[in-house]
Chain A
């Protein structure tokens, strides 16, 4: 068989659109030859992904006494929602709404501050904007762990300890470097000609930002929204160290506290894990393309 007629087996578009007649044959050919290694590999990875999730769901539907005797890989014999009730009755809604507040605030701060920085870095090439850009390029490497001790001091001095702001402000700051880099990458692609055309119309930098740069940088902006929201959603260290009481407790910290609260009640613990995943899973179902596309942007376009 001549290799040149074979579809390229590896990535992208096995069935090329421009040649309509052969695809039928080609596809057959493709499945026959397949790629046994990658096929097998993907099935193995599927098992690695699915088995823990399945065990979690199954166990979270099992009553505590049954969970200790049965094998968690068997489907629950008499499924119960008791564990979910236990979790929901222990303040889960409060944790969730705190996390939502943190996420929204972090996204707003990050966007509001990063977009002008990226815009200046791309449009105004001078020493200061270059310096600002470099600050964030290096900032990517500052680990949050490295600053918690002094931040703790700072937060205490600002009288923010044990408040949602104590979580929001540092989380936003630490989401900025990647956001700035992503936005600079996107804004760089906006053609200079378009700016010049607007300049000819006498547009101010503000108008260029809002009417040209931001609309054309939607991809980068949605990446930043998703990235910043995930940082807030995932954040653990800042809440752990900067909050204490029930009032400003966020979801991740709440989950962590369930370990001691539920003790050996593993089904309840797993139910809390499932519940914590539901909101973002819902987002994933509704807007998978936007979420996945946005995250792809974090790795550079």
Chain B
């Protein structure tokens, strides 16, 4: 190999990068040697192809198929029959849909408040390096080690009035069942969000607190003027994960309440499951699923846009 002219020996990526000559000219200020070498050793974009195809096949194509199926009538056997807008009309007229949508929004909001407030406080608290905080944090994390199925079963058993911890039939009343779902979701996921906040809080530069202390800011003032603003990107990340997660609560509802009492906790994913795999109305189930995709995508786009999550800007900007 021609060692002194290393840039010559890369014939492997003809179309990979922005093709070699323009790449050189696009960075005029640099010396020619480094800029030329920065054009070599770059992987061909085709490296991404297997992963993209795999994901497209199992996630993107099915999503598009769901849209297609939402315009058909299909019971799982035979071929789907096109029925135009029937399923969507049914969806708009379905009282359970309105209730379910409202319920999903309410559940997401309640979960967000419950989990964010507690996880933020616990996370900032756990960011301290004291021994007792480390020990307690280790215990606080334990619920997250159980699967959501296991946790749903655990509370299914503990909330059983025959079992004796709670005499009342909480899951029998609609507000009780709703609160139980919010609580169980929080019990499982607060450890995870606490962890995210703990990581975020540990990255806040010490100097900010020192400066605030010199200015005479007390503990609470420091929390609201430094910790919270510095954690805003952490809040975003946690919120995106939480919102998308709440939209898709499923096993908790299936195991704890089966959507009941009545249909009072039948959130969108549960309604979709019932329509598809209980009533074998796959067309209608697909309409609900499509609606769910639109909602989830719209929500996360808004969140990403509002907060600049995609650009991954640093909180440390301008410091």
B121 and A273 form a contact (CB under 8 A): no
**Binary contact readout A80-95 vs B (1 if CB under 8 angstroms, 0 otherwise):** 0000000000000000
Contact pick for B69, options A15, A52, A140, A149, CB 8 Å: A149
Residues from chain A with a CB closer than 8 A to the CB of B41 are 195, 198-199, 203-205, 208
Report, as a range, how many residues of chain B touch the other chain. Answer: 35 or more
- Measured in the bound complex, the distance between the Cα atoms of B150 and A56 in whole Å is 11
Residues from chain B with a CB closer than 8 A to the CB of A284 are 141-142, 145
- Measured in the bound complex, the distance between the Cα atoms of B91 and A222 in whole Å is 43
B44 and A124 form a contact (CB under 8 A): yes
B12 and A142 form a contact (CB under 8 A): no
Which chain A residue has the least Cβ–Cβ distance from B70?
A149
Report, as a range, how many residues of chain A touch the other chain. Answer: 35 or more
For residue A202, CB closer than 8 A to chain B, the reply is yes
A41 and B153 form a contact (CB under 8 A): no
A145 and B6 form a contact (CB under 8 A): no
For residue B206, CB closer than 8 A to chain A, the reply is yes
**Binary contact readout B147-168 vs A (1 if CB under 8 angstroms, 0 otherwise):** 1111001111110101111000
- Measured in the bound complex, the distance between the Cα atoms of B63 and A229 in whole Å is 24
Contact pick for A146, options B18, B129, B234, B289, CB 8 Å: B289
B157 and A252 form a contact (CB under 8 A): no
* Interface hits, B206-248 → A, CB 8 Å: 206, 209-210, 212-214, 216-219, 222-223, 227, 233-234, 237-238, 240-241, 244, 247-248
The prevalent SS among residues of A at the interface is helix
The prevalent SS among residues of B at the interface is helix
Known pairs A123-B43, A281-B145; A143 contacts B138 (CB<8 A): no
B192 and A151 form a contact (CB under 8 A): no
B: which residues have CB within 8 A of A?
A: 1, 3, 6-7, 9-10, 12-13, 16-18, 34, 37-38, 40-45, 47-48, 50-52, 54-63, 65-66, 69, 76, 118, 121-122, 124-125, 127-130, 133, 136, 138-143, 145-150, 153-158, 160, 162-165, 187, 192-193, 195-196, 198-204, 206, 209-210, 212-214, 216-219, 222-223, 227, 233-234, 237-238, 240-241, 244, 247-248, 250-251, 255, 268-269, 272-273, 276-277, 282, 285-286, 289-290, 292-293, 296-297, 299-301, 304, 310, 312
